[in-house]
Amino acid sequence: MPSVSKTRDMTSGSPLRHILLFMLPILLGSVFQRFYNVADAIVVGNALGSAELAAIGATGPATFFLLSIAMGLTHAFSIVTAQYFGANNEKMVRTTLVSGIYITAFCSLLFTITGLLAARPLLILLKTPAEILESSALYLRICIAGTLFQLVYNGAASALRAVGDSKTPLYFLLFACILNVTLDLIFALWLGWGLAGIACATVFSQFFAALLSVLYIFTRYPIFRLSRADLAPDLPNLAHVVKIGLPLGLQSLLVSVADMAIMSVVNSFGTNVLAAYTAYKRIQEFAMLSYNAIAQATSVFAGQNLGAGQPARIREGFKKIALVNIAIALLIVLGIFLSGDLLLRVFISPNDPQIDQIAAAAMEMLRIYASFYPVLCMILLYNNVLRGMGEVSIPLFSSLLELAVKICLSFGLAAVYGATGLWFAAPLSWVVAMIPSLWLYHSGRWQRRTAAFAEGGSVKA
C-alpha cells in the first residue's frame, strides 16, 4: 500500500522535473474535466441548436458564483496538507483531512440549498434573454443538485495532490468523462430529455468520480486512514484552514462577480453574441488548462518546500517553471491565431443559419483575449506560488483590483466601442492585477514564512 515514502516528495531533486512530472497528470485530468462541458456544448450545439447552447453558457458565471467560496476552502485544505506533508507531520495531515471533511459537508448543504432557491433570480439578474431563461434555470438547478459530488471529488483530489499523487485523480476523471459522454447521448438524444438530460449526465458522472476517489483515498493511503479518535474536529486546525480558505474563496467570489458583470453586458447584445461567447469560453477553458496545471503544481511544490524550510529551492523552481509557462502561452497564442476559427465551428451546427455571424464574433474575442495569455499565465503562477506558502492577502488584493478594473472597463468600453470594446476589459484588468503579486514575490518578504513554519509547525495566514 502507498505510504508517505511512496508519495512524491518535492523537497529534494530537480525542482523543474518535479513540477513538470506532477503537472502532467493534473493537466490531463483538467482536460477530461473540461471535456464534461465541451461534450455538453458539442451535443447541444449540434443536436439541440444555438439557443440551447446559449442557455448552457448563461449558467456558467452563476455556477461559479455559487461555488466560489467552497472552492477556495478546498484549495486551502490542499495548501495546509502540503505544508504538513513537507514537514513530515503525519498526524496533522490526518487532522487537516478531517477538517476538510467537515468543511465539505457544510459547504455542500449550504450551497445546494442556496443554489436551488437562487437559480432563476440570479439568471434574471444577469439579464439572461427571456427565450432561454427557463431552460437555463432548469439546467442550473440540476447541476447545483450535484454540488456535494463535485466538492467531494475536488477535496479528495486535493488531498492526493498535496502528498504528491496527481495520477490517481486523472484515472477517475477519465472514467467519469467517458461515462459523461455516453450518458449525454443516452439522456439527451435517445431518451429525448434535452438540456435536462445533459445536466443529469454531468451530475451522475461527478457522483462516480467522487465515489471512486473517496474509496481509494481511504483504502490505499495509510496516511489518510482515520481512526475514531481522528474524527473529532480540531478547532485550531479547522480555523487555520478556514482563515486561509476564506480569502481564497472571496477571491474566487470576486472573479465570479466580475464574470457575471461581463455576462450581463454580453447578454445585452443578444442570443447570437451569447452563443459566440459560450463557444469562445469552451476554447479558452482548454487554452488555460496548462497555465492552471502549472500553477497548481507549483503551489504544492511551494507548500512542501515551505514546510521543509527551503526558500532558495522555491525561488529556483519558480524561475525555471516561469520560462516554461511563458513559452507554452506563446505556442497557444500561435495555435489560436492559426486555427481558432476551425475549433470554434465545432460547437456550432453547420446548418445553423447564424453560423458565420456567431463564428466571426467568437473569433474576434478569442484573438483579443489570446494576445494577453502570457500575462494571464504569469498572474496565475504568481498567485498560486504565494498561496502555496499561505500568503493570501496580496493575491486577494490583486483580485479586488482586477474586479474593479474589469467591471469599470466592461461597462465603459462596451458603451463606447460595443462588443469589441467589451473583449478588452478582462485582458487589461489582468495587466493591472498582476502588479501587486509580482511585487510581493520579488520583494522576498514571503521568506519569513519558512522560518515561522520551522519554529511552530504552521504559519499564520
Q: What is the mean pLDDT of residues 283-290?
A: 80
Query: Which of 137-151, 313-327, 356-370 has the highest average model confidence (pLDDT)?
Result: 313-327
Q: What is the mean pLDDT of residues 44-59?
A: 64
Is 249 inside a domain boundary?
yes
Our measurement of the distance from residue 73's CA atom to the centroid of its chain's CA atoms, rounded to an integer in Å, reads 13
Is 326 inside a domain boundary?
yes
Is 3 inside a domain boundary?
no
Residue 82, pLDDT > 90, answer no
Residue 188 — very low, low, confident or very high, per pLDDT cuts 50/70/90?
confident
Is 241 inside a domain boundary?
yes
Q: Comparing 459 with 409, which gets the higher pLDDT? A: 409
Q: Comparing 62 with 5, which gets the higher pLDDT? A: 62
Q: What is the mean pLDDT of residues 62-86?
A: 74
Pairwise CA distance, residues 104 & 277, whole Å: 32
Per-residue pLDDT reduced to its tens digit, 381-418: 999 899 888 787 888 888 888 888 988 898 889 888 88
- Say whether pTM exceeds 0.85: no
Is 267 inside a domain boundary?
yes
Is 399 inside a domain boundary?
yes
Is 49 inside a domain boundary?
yes
pLDDT at 29: 73
- Give the three cell numbers for residue 386: 504565494
Pairwise CA distance, residues 377 & 400, whole Å: 18
Q: What is the mean pLDDT of residues 447-455?
A: 63
pLDDT at 322: 94
Is 7 inside a domain boundary?
no
Phi, psi of 228 (to 5 degrees): -60, -40
pLDDT at 326: 94
Residue 438, pLDDT > 90, answer yes
Per-residue pLDDT reduced to its tens digit, 230-261: 788 888 888 888 887 777 777 777 777 777 77
Handedness of CA 291, 295, 297, 298 (dihedral sign): positive
- The residue behind cell 465515489 is 211
Residue 321 — very low, low, confident or very high, per pLDDT cuts 50/70/90?
very high
Cβ-based neighbours of 92, under 8 Å, separated by 6 or more: 84, 237, 457
Q: Structural domain tally of the chain?
A: 1
Per-residue pLDDT reduced to its tens digit, 94-134: 888 888 888 888 888 888 888 788 778 877 776 777 777 77
- What percent of the chain has pLDDT above 70? 86
Residue 352 — very low, low, confident or very high, per pLDDT cuts 50/70/90?
low
Residue 380, pLDDT > 80, answer yes
* Domain that includes residue 220, residue range: 14-456
